[in-house]
Amino acid sequence: MGGFLGAKEVLTRDRVKQIFRNKEYSFLEEKVTLMEVSDDSLLLKISFLLEHKGRMISLEEKEPIVVPFNDFRIEDWGEGVQKVGDIE
C-alpha cells in the first residue's frame, strides 16, 4: 500500500530510457568532457543529468567514446558572427 501519495516509482533501465526518450523530465543538463586529443581522434565522455518528478537521474557513459577527428565540421568564423569559410 502506497499511502495517499501513491506508490513511489521504481526506476529501471528501461523506464529511464522511456523518460529520456519521451522527454518526461523538467530539467536537462548535457555535458561532454574532452578527455584526450590524439592525432586523428578525440576521446569524449558524455553524461546527462535530468530531473523527473523531483528526482535527479544521472546517465553517464561507462566507457569513453572515440570519435574520429574527420567526423567534425570545422569552420572559421573570423572575428565576428559571420561565417568566413570552412577549414579543409
Query: Is residue 1 predicted with pLDDT exceeding 60?
Result: no
Tell which residue, 28, 87, 37, has the closest CA to residue 57. 28
Tell which residue, 45, 49, 42, has the closest CA to residue 61. 45
pLDDT digits (tens, 9 = 90+) for 25-61: 999 999 999 999 988 999 999 999 999 999 999 999 9
**Domain map of the chain by residue range?**
13-86
End-to-end CA distance of the chain: 64
Query: Is residue 3 predicted with pLDDT exceeding 60?
Result: no
User: Whole-prediction pTM value?
Assistant: 0.70
pLDDT of residue 23: 95
According to DSSP, the β-strands at 65-68 and 85-86 are: unpaired
